[in-house]
Chains A and B, each alone.
Chain A
Amino acid sequence: MLCFHVCAGEIFELKAELNSDKKEKKKEAVKKVIASMTVGKDVSALFPDVVNCMQTDNLELKKLVYLYLMNYAKSQPDMAIMAVNTFVKDCEDPNPLIRALAVRTMGCIRVDKITEYLCEPLRKCLKDEDPYVRKTAAVCVAKLHDINAQLVEDQGFLDTLKDLISDSNPMVVANAVAALSEIAESHPNSNLLDLNPQSINKLLTALNECTEWGQIFILDCLANYAPRDDRESQSICERVTPRLSHANSAVVLSAVKVLMKFMEMLPKDLDYYGTLLKKLAPPLVTLLSAEPELQYVALRNINLIVQKRPEILKHEMKVFFVKYNDPIYVKLEKLDIMIRLASQANIAQVLAELKEYATEVDVDFVRKAVRAIGRCAIKVEQSAERCVSTLLDLIQTKVNYVVQEAIVVIKDIFRKYPNKYESVIATLCENLDSLDEPEARAAMIWIVGEYAERIDNADELLESFLEGFHDESTQVQLQLLTAIVKLFLKKPTETQELVQQVLSLATQDSDNPDLRDRGYIYWRLLSTDPVAAKEVVLAEKPLISEETDLIEPTLLEELICHIGTLASVYHKPPSAFVEGSRGVMHKRLPARTGSPDVGTIAGGSGTETAPSIIPSQGDLLGDLLNLDLAPPTTTGPPPPTSGMQMGGMDLLGGGLDSLVGSPMPPRHASGLVPWHSSVDDLCPQVWLPAMKAKGLEISGTFARRAGVIQMELTLTNKAMSVMTDFAIQFNRNSFGLAPAGPLQVLSPLSPNQTIEVSLPLSTVGPVMKMEPLNNLQVAVKNNIDVFYFSCQYPISMLFVEDGKMERQVFLATWKDIPNENESQFQIKDCHLNSDAASNKLQASNIFTIAKRTVEGQDMLYMSIKLSNGIWVLAELRVQTGNPNYTVSTEDGWGTTGGAVDSPSCVYVVCGSCYEV
């Protein structure tokens, strides 16, 4: 929290001005207070003086005081009560603007005692004669629900709100719909928004009359309705289509969402279906003439629409051509859509454009353009030749990143059209030295290995890579291993030495299990049965499919239901970025009804074959051999493993042991865990900088939610190539933390992309004491390499919910614990009284067992239970008026034991909880 301290003199001066008799002076003073508040200064000390200004007939002054109240009422709940009377009085004012203002402000004050007084005025306002008051009251119900859901239900406000849907004023209807939709989101099964043909009809009528914002609320609500049959869905579509001509883009996108959803139910042979498809294209194109930020939102949505229904925009390729002055985020999105729309009919134009783009300034954009040329070759066979020659032209420019990107896509072209364009290999080989990115190097090596029989000096080329074998990334190492084995199988006589060399490098000198295992398999294959080796290594590869980067169909369906919203911008389901119960409900497209030809419809265009994604590691064989790095599912203590097993499954053993020698994070001088290791939710720590992990950056935090420990990871790909196949593993640690499931990274992580993953943790893994105690060593694997890092978790997340000890047991245990186990320390500058402290601690599962007051000191006795069964007992001494707390702790050993140094963890506990 950012606070500037206001000097006492300034406060004093303001105080005097606030209590002045002159109205003007008063108003100016309140303005000054608000100005200080805006920049983050703490002016809460003026609370009583500001509230005194509330009783005024000057509306402007009143509004200012209300603004102040909304900000500070929570920190001064007792004084906020002073304002209640004025609020209640204002709710009876003859002026509707004042009535609405009072009820609107009261709803924003999140103080229980005020909320109690709000019910009666709110009830009146919901039935007020003036629509302005009613529309404000409707939103106020949603506010109240956010503070106290039970109260809203008990007071019957939900029914009143439902009645407002039939109100005569369109704006009241719109706000009631918005409020109900929001409340319904937190009760997924409540059937609150009882949508039926009658209520839908009312909404559609209101749609024609309300403000642009109201139209958005109504359309978003309509999208949740499931029509009974295709007739009903057609009639709704007919009444929604006029919205496509609205000047407000959000109205248009919400209308598109309703149409895209309800269209699912229409039979494809219906004339109306075709008409609707035609009507959708122009408004989508018009969105591209909006301001750039809106264009971006529109393009992200069009990307989804094009995947779902390519026929809508197939003739509109030109509008996605990139303009020189477009912001970069618009350019990249347009390019994506261009590739999706590319077809035989427009390929010439597209290619000409892409070639233009490849000479632009922005590196990311150029790379994407080059990659797009390759995609075109794979997608439209007729254009492959032109694409290849375009790529060759680009390689001639010798611009480093262009060359590398071109080589990566040429590899894919070879996969798609084997034995067709080998003539270009010579040109590619000329650029061997300039390749410095792993993906490009790996691609080049793959090409050399694959066509080894036609490249005279293949052995020399591969040998040159071998020199720095250990400095290469895993991707390149794997590729090099496979390529040399291929070469050996093709030209066994000259290359025996080379293959021996690479096999020994891979198996004996490498720490990487993937590489080791692949090496061993080749070695055994070659030594036992060379014919079988040939069959395996030189097997014919399956062709790659043409569509790439497609969103997985069920996710796509869900995202279509979220058109216009943030989910559609992120291309992620709401549950991936929204906390709590909201958005957990997955939305689905309705099923088609009443149509005779269900079978053919499911086909659609281009979706009947589930397209597979081009694996970034050109060699499928390699993927077959990749070991699955899922966490162990056994819960018992595993047998002690020591060191490294040759080619075995102990993937962490070797890696983490070597980590011990690496520099550890700086330790706290006393050996205690620094209290600030609790992590502020908004600034996750960087655990693994991109520098150390070949472009993968990992940052994260820990949290305990509903009894489950969560590791919140943010993975950022700062490298130039796509990352896939993520997995995670922990080393043994003090509290037996282990992943409770695999790392959920479903789609490949493209360059500059960031994803957030939440990994649930269990506490039943193997135990080993760490130094510091809360240290956790983690290994993360992706297609490039395995990376190791260590991080520290706040001990408080290990406190279990059933940590409240019986009073008697507490007393007995406290006495039983020997004095050596006790430690004492002070917490400084904590301005909470004992009750508030107790409440705060309880939220972190630190339970107050008893409290007594001795000589003006509050003594709190508390208990904590750690996930491994260790109990910690604490005594907290709070002296009123003294910001310093004294804590004595004693720990009782549970059953698990181990040399765990527990006073230090209590230190963490108390510190971190106050931080919250």
Chain B
Amino acid sequence: MIGGLFIYNHKGEVLISRVYRDDIGRNAVDAFRVNVIHARQQVRSPVTNIARTSFFHVKRSNIWLAAVTKQNVNAAMVFEFLYKMCDVMTAYFGKISEENIKNNFVLIYELLDEILDFGYPQNSETGALKTFITQTGIKSQSKEEQSQITSQVTGQIGWRREGIKYRRNELFLDVLESVNLLMSPQGQVLSAHVSGRVVMKSYLSGMPECKFGMNDKIVIDKQGKGGATDEAGKSGGGGGKQSIAIDDCTFHQCVRLSKFDAERSISFIPPDGECELMRYRTTKDIILPFRVIPLVREVGRTKLEVKVVIKSNFKPSLLAQKIEVRIPTPLNTSGVQVICMKGKAKYKASENAIVWKIKRMAGMKESQISAEIELLPTNDKKKWARPPISMNFEVPFAPSGLKVRYLKVFEPKLNYSDHDVIKWVRYIGRSGIYETRC
């Protein structure tokens, strides 16, 4: 198991060091600094073995978190734990920075004592931790409170405490998708997928039992067979796909996985406040919101002509926002002239790219940029690698076609029903890695 955990600043000074196992000595702290933080080469692996001691590290801004062990530990678990550790710290004191860590070091030690015991991760849900580890010192608790804390930390529903009350029961669902594309210069889709998240913010009283439904192909097909007429399904929505094929999905630990496996129904008792209910991935029938058509021509050895057309491919009534096209330029660029029909374009020498920004663009439109790039003559034999043209945008729909069908709430002990809960649903599609080779 994890033998020790160290946090360093960018210089390699130790900010936090907590050793859990006897086989990890103080020299391990220095070994990591010397071999990884101060190493001249770029980091070639997140796992480093130095003299039979293994170091796992992640970096958050310029802070290094390293877990150390001499055993054959579960490597995936160690990384998951390090991420979790970052989440917990962020939930307690915000950004992970040297200053915040130094100001909160007592709290961090207290947390480390609680969430890792002898190197074994324990309950690390912030909701539960915050009931008994606070920054303002420990409140004196009554006996009932104490046993409530312990039963929550160890209980089956470790992520929610009892007795939550809201005057207004309300919940927000955000379907956040990032659409990824790699396209050849000829417009052939090399790979495309959507990775999506359903984020739920809930302010519900008691211990509400929730059930979430979406237009999952497997569920819809099953219902179709179960008696309802296919006709109704097809004509109902009016445009757009009825159901989508989800390649794979993973759920927050509050979701009953065996129930999903058996019936494909998503039921859970949510944590209070925000949580990422599910993540999913789709690859079939993705709506690609934009298409990029590049044209690069080398005119002699010292000049390049670039023309890029972007086409929006969604309903004309919808508006895409924050559009940004990044056209890479060679390292030996000496000057650039740009003409664009819409938005603003600028050559950024420090980033070796032309950045073209458009605030808004409606569906089924087209825009174009052309640029002349002057090059300095070089005797570098190696050809310019031509990095792909990348794009950023935000659209108000889910490119995978996912639709939320329902989210039902039952709280048998309290007297509010599903109808009394105010529900909000929002769809946002963003670009992930959206690249077209040129």
Contacts and interface: CB of A to CB of B under 8 A. Distances in A.
A574 B72 contact: yes
Contacts of A754: 49
B248 A298 contact: no
Contacts of A67: 109, 113
B404 interface: no
A64 interface: yes
A608 to B, nearest CB: 31
B195 A578 contact: no
Contacts of B57: 293
Nearest to B437: A356
B308 interface: no
A325 interface: yes
A169 interface: yes
Contact of A565 (B75, B137, B382): B75
Interface stretch (A204-212, A376-384, A525-533, A868-876): A204-212
Given A398-B381, A577-B54, A170 B253 contact: no
Interface string B10-26: 00011111001111011
B45 A245 contact: no
A361 B385 contact: yes
A132 B150 contact: yes
A246 B75 contact: no
Interface residues of B, number: 107
A96 B73 contact: no
B177 interface: no
Nearest to A175: B120
A244 B26 CA distance: 38
Contacts of A294: 76, 79-80, 83
A248 B433 contact: no
Contact of B52 (A63, A297, A577): A577
A249 B151 CA distance: 27
B120 A570 contact: no
A125 interface: no
B72 A566 contact: yes
B46 A292 contact: yes
Contact of A318 (B23, B143, B191, B257): B191
A171 B105 CA distance: 28
B230 interface: no
A682 interface: yes
Given A246-B250, A397-B382, A682 B83 contact: no
B250 A564 contact: no
Contacts of B253: 211-212, 246-248
A297 B47 CA distance: 9
B31 A682 contact: yes
B71 A139 contact: no
A624 interface: no
A579 B29 CA distance: 19
Given A135-B154, A323-B433, A582 B251 contact: no
B147 interface: yes
Interface string A414-435: 0000000000000000000000
A623 B345 CA distance: 62
B374 interface: no
Given A182-B1, A329-B44, A250 B383 contact: no
Contacts of B118: 107-108, 139-140, 142-143
B251 A245 contact: yes
Contact of A286 (B29, B105, B248, B252): B248
Please report whether the interface of chain A is mostly helix, strand, loop or mixed according to DSSP: helix
Interface string B176-200: 0000001010000011010100000
Contact of B47 (A60, A296, A328): A296
Interface residues of A, number: 117
Contacts of A296: 45-47
Interface string A731-762: 00000000000000000000010101000000
Given A34-B109, A321-B182, A683 B51 contact: yes
Contacts of A100: 150
Contact of B74 (A136, A220, A680): A220
Interface string A236-252: 00010111011111101
Contact of A250 (B54, B58, B74): B74
Interface stretch (B121-129, B289-297, B359-367, B413-421): B121-129
A575 to B, nearest CB: 9
B176 to A, nearest CB: 13
A583 B121 contact: no
A1 B71 contact: no
A213 B46 contact: no
A684 interface: yes
A756 B83 CA distance: 30
Contact of A682 (B51, B79, B143, B281): B51
B153 interface: yes
A213 B57 CA distance: 19
Interface in A560-575: 562, 564-570, 574
A171 B381 contact: no
A816 interface: no
A440 B388 CA distance: 32
A6 interface: no
A31 B106 contact: yes
Contact of A577 (B49, B137, B276): B49
A680 to B, nearest CB: 8
Contacts of A323: 182, 433
Interface in A83-104: 94-97, 100, 104
Contact of B22 (A94, A146, A211, A683): A146
B77 A564 contact: yes
Contacts of B52: 577-579, 756
Contact of A329 (B45, B155, B184, B435): B45
B337 to A, nearest CB: 26
Contact of B257 (A246, A282, A286): A246
A10 to B, nearest CB: 18
Contacts of B156: 170, 209-210
A669 interface: no
Given A39-B14, A213-B122, A96 B44 contact: no
B376 to A, nearest CB: 19
A417 to B, nearest CB: 29
B247 interface: yes
B32 to A, nearest CB: 11
A249 B385 contact: no
A766 interface: no
A169 to B, nearest CB: 5
A38 B381 contact: no
Interface string A95-129: 11100100010011010000000000000000000
B383 A359 contact: yes
A38 to B, nearest CB: 6
B260 interface: yes
Interface string A121-163: 0000000001111011001101100100000000000000000
Interface string A572-606: 00100111001100000000000000000000000
A140 B122 CA distance: 13
Can you list the 10 inter-chain pairs with the closest CB atoms, starting with the nearest?
Answer: A282-B248, A132-B150, A250-B76, A242-B261, A250-B77, A242-B257, A574-B72, A213-B121, A293-B46, A171-B154
Interface of A: 1-2, 31, 34-35, 38-40, 58-60, 63-64, 66-67, 94-97, 100, 104, 107-108, 110, 130-133, 135-136, 139-140, 142-143, 146, 169-172, 175, 178, 182, 208-213, 216-217, 220, 239, 241-243, 245-250, 252-254, 282-283, 285-286, 289, 291-294, 296-298, 318-319, 321, 323-325, 327-329, 349, 352-353, 356, 359-361, 397-399, 562, 564-570, 574, 577-579, 582-583, 680-684, 752, 754, 756
13 contacts: A38-B15, A136-B117, A140-B118, A171-B154, A178-B120, A245-B250, A245-B261, A285-B247, A296-B46, A566-B75, A568-B75, A680-B27, A682-B25
Given A245-B251, A293-B57, A754-B49, 6 more contacts: A2-B29, A107-B118, A247-B251, A294-B80, A296-B47, A579-B23
